[in-house]
Structure 1
């Protein structure tokens, strides 16, 4: 199985650590020589998930080969990478350096190393939205590599023909979707499930709320949450949403083929949209809802982390600093030469030639000004409870207030549980 970096952003920006350990992990740790090189040279094992973007594997192997203080052996891991990594970190044979986003359990369990000192000098240059989920107890546990983000694509000519302005509020988005719907074209595409799978916490943030507050409390125990989420059933019920498209929200084909006037998708889709439509499109953040609302952009980012149980922890940290802090040329190359992504460093995103004009520049601006990432304290149990409730609200017209009360109880219990851990 191969997949691109867009997988980071399913369910509104979350990284998935679910499912059972796959056989792909097995006993093959990729260590080969047991971690030592010839003549005493240190050999570091570095794991990546198997990207679907051409050239990525060759690039990371090239970076590794350029590192002189140690030998770096890259493992390109197919299958359920997140579960492979989680299982490997429980043993003595895991990778020295691995791509991922350390979970709260891994941090509290002492499975990943503190990398605060590595990024101290440039901490303020990392996009804060993607650095936040890698920060716990004031320490940084992973160095962000690239940013993926979601945004709203709209067809300029279709909006102009319908005398519709690009929406700046959720109510305007709903009205625009209805006005743009014809016998041949739907107004909006949020995924084949009506948005239940991709929206995640985005509508809550657009209403001025959050999944988890900065103080570690439930961030949506507020009547505004029910009011906002209830609006999505209206979209679903009035048939202005495209459902049953040949490809789901992450693929721009429904948009470029004219099946929908507006589509929620990701930055990765922009090159294909530009190639098909030229300048006949624009992009927007998710629109604000209510007086306290604000435009919102979900972001996600894998990072580079170090195994705290590895035999060469100091060498692994030095390599991570070299690659993901010092080598800004490699960081820009990784983000923009294989697929289309934003560098995690603000300075690199601002100066990158491919991101300085048009919709790409807008995407960078939206990410900087309106980006949010799924909080570290948002556990899989909270996620499942919320996603199930959101699906019932959108598809079945379930009462948002009642549904969210149950999610608040689950989330509060989860937050209390994780706070009790050492």
Structure 2
């Protein structure tokens, strides 16, 4: 990626870029209610985590911290749906955390908010999934350490599809047809989440498009994406889509409680689904859209970053190195003991027995064949712009071309700031 002056990304403009993050749909498997703890203190490093939904996660993070001898590490476990906006607000204050989890986004680098971690990553770089390295790299420097990879796909009840005489959908048209065949007076055919935001990027990829191309130019405004938006509108208005589940897509309860036959969700929920449904469970990628399309799996996940403006940034880097580079036992525990995630360290992923057979192995296979990773140049403002397209064209009856034209203006302005 090309170099650029930091003048366009002050701390205040960084915060403005984060406005509306509550609607961004980037949280994976988070909890609910509200809370924000304090930031740095004189006697401890402070780390921010969003509240994962899987039982035992908060205790695990605090257990790892307690085992570290280099410094006292305190954890702010931030509940609520607005983790991103709370994090970014805290970064503008004197109580900002020393380290925090988030997703790779270039404005954090351009503004000088996150520290260069190349020196701690480089010795083990070959042992990381190389797509994870690429998604955290700007101008040859690595700015975060991936903790978990979270592939997302459709889960389905095998028995319900068999009863309805429905095959596993291979195209978006077939998914729409399956939703109609599976819908009864008690069960909806498909659940995509209450906001639909989780499937935006998978649909773009499944249409044979992308968010940005290799030259950091918009790559989503294609005939295939327009076709996909029209089909998603058809599904939204069909009556076969579950729209009011008690929890959003990241929670497996819609499928587990029999509210839907097919649910978009993440691999993290696989153990809870297996516990509830046993072998009556299958997975498939977002099906292809149009003739130019290809099935797609979004690899979500979380990464650890060091606050470059912290007075204790070097100490925070040492802790990140100790936990997320050196302590493979803890890294495996974090990925596999509280829901299923794919370890970004290839040596750990290869030895993960829990992922070697059955449904987890299917998920890993789909991840390998169809996985797409974060593009560090695809910023929060760009994410919000595509969410606006979905809101206008799928939830309402807006014209896809006009909505994408509006999106182009937002994305173009962002690209001009970031890449000149």
Provide Cα deviations, 1:314-338, integer angstroms capped at 9, x if missing partner.
4432322221112111101112223
Change (3 A) 1:240 1:83: closer
State the shift of 1:238 in Å: 2.4
Per the alignment, in what secondary structure is the counterpart of residue 264 of structure 1? strand
Query: Which deviates further from its counterpart, 344-353 or 164-173?
Result: 344-353
Per the alignment, in what secondary structure is the counterpart of residue 189 of structure 2? coil
Mapped pair 1:354 → 2:354: yes
Q: Cα RMSD (Å) of the superposition? A: 2.7
Alpha-carbon separation, structure 1, partners of 2:207 and 2:179: 19
Task: Provide the residue aligned with 2:273 in structure 1.
Answer: 273
Runs of 4 or more, structure 1, over 6 Å off, are none
Change (3 A) 1:137 1:83: same
1:30-69 map, 5 Å: 30-33=40-43, 44-68=45-69
State the shift of 1:416 in Å: 1.2
Change (3 A) 1:262 1:46: closer
Instruction: Tell me, yes or no, if the aligned pair for 2:335 and 2:341 is still in contact at 8 Å.
Output: yes
Unaligned runs of 5+ residues in structure 1 are: 1-7, 16-21, 34-42
State the shift of 1:221 in Å: 2.4
State the shift of 1:205 in Å: 0.5
State the shift of 1:284 in Å: 0.9
State the shift of 1:67 in Å: 2.9
- TM-score by structure 1 length? 0.84
Mapped pair 1:291 → 2:291: yes
The alignment covers a number of residue pairs equal to: 393
Alpha-carbon separation, structure 2, partners of 1:10 and 1:244: 16
Instruction: Tell me, yes or no, if the aligned pair for 2:148 and 2:302 is still in contact at 8 Å.
Output: yes
Alpha-carbon separation, structure 1, partners of 2:396 and 2:377: 29
Task: Provide the residue aligned with 2:12 in structure 1.
Answer: none
Provide Cα deviations, 1:198-250, integer angstroms capped at 9, x if missing partner.
21221011111111222111011222210122111111222222233343322
Task: Provide the residue aligned with 2:365 in structure 1.
Answer: 365
State the shift of 1:87 in Å: 4.2
Instruction: Tell me, yes or no, if the aligned pair for 2:40 and 2:95 is still in contact at 8 Å.
Output: no
Change (3 A) 1:118 1:388: same
Per the alignment, in what secondary structure is the counterpart of residue 218 of structure 1? coil
Per the alignment, in what secondary structure is the counterpart of residue 347 of structure 1? helix
Instruction: Tell me, yes or no, if the aligned pair for 2:105 and 2:378 is still in contact at 8 Å.
Output: no
- TM-score by structure 2 length? 0.84
Per the alignment, in what secondary structure is the counterpart of residue 214 of structure 1? coil
Mapped pair 1:214 → 2:210: no
Per the alignment, in what secondary structure is the counterpart of residue 322 of structure 1? helix
Task: Provide the residue aligned with 1:177 in structure 2.
Answer: 179
1:95-244 map, 5 Å: 95-101=97-103, 103-193=105-195, 195=196, 197-244=197-244
Alpha-carbon separation, structure 1, partners of 2:310 and 2:238: 56
Alpha-carbon separation, structure 2, partners of 1:270 and 1:23: 28
State the shift of 1:51 in Å: 3.9
Alpha-carbon separation, structure 2, partners of 1:117 and 1:251: 37
Per the alignment, in what secondary structure is the counterpart of residue 109 of structure 2? helix
Mapped pair 1:415 → 2:415: yes
Query: Which deviates further from its counterpart, 281-290 or 345-354?
Result: 345-354
State the shift of 1:275 in Å: 1.6
Instruction: Tell me, yes or no, if the aligned pair for 2:224 and 2:289 is still in contact at 8 Å.
Output: no
Per the alignment, in what secondary structure is the counterpart of residue 67 of structure 1? coil
Task: Provide the residue aligned with 1:18 in structure 2.
Answer: none
Provide Cα deviations, 1:293-314, integer angstroms capped at 9, x if missing partner.
2221112222122222333444
Alpha-carbon separation, structure 2, partners of 1:122 and 1:188: 42
Change (3 A) 1:192 1:66: closer
Alpha-carbon separation, structure 2, partners of 1:335 and 1:133: 19
Query: Which deviates further from its counterpart, 410-419 or 240-249?
Result: 240-249
Alpha-carbon separation, structure 2, partners of 1:206 and 1:257: 29
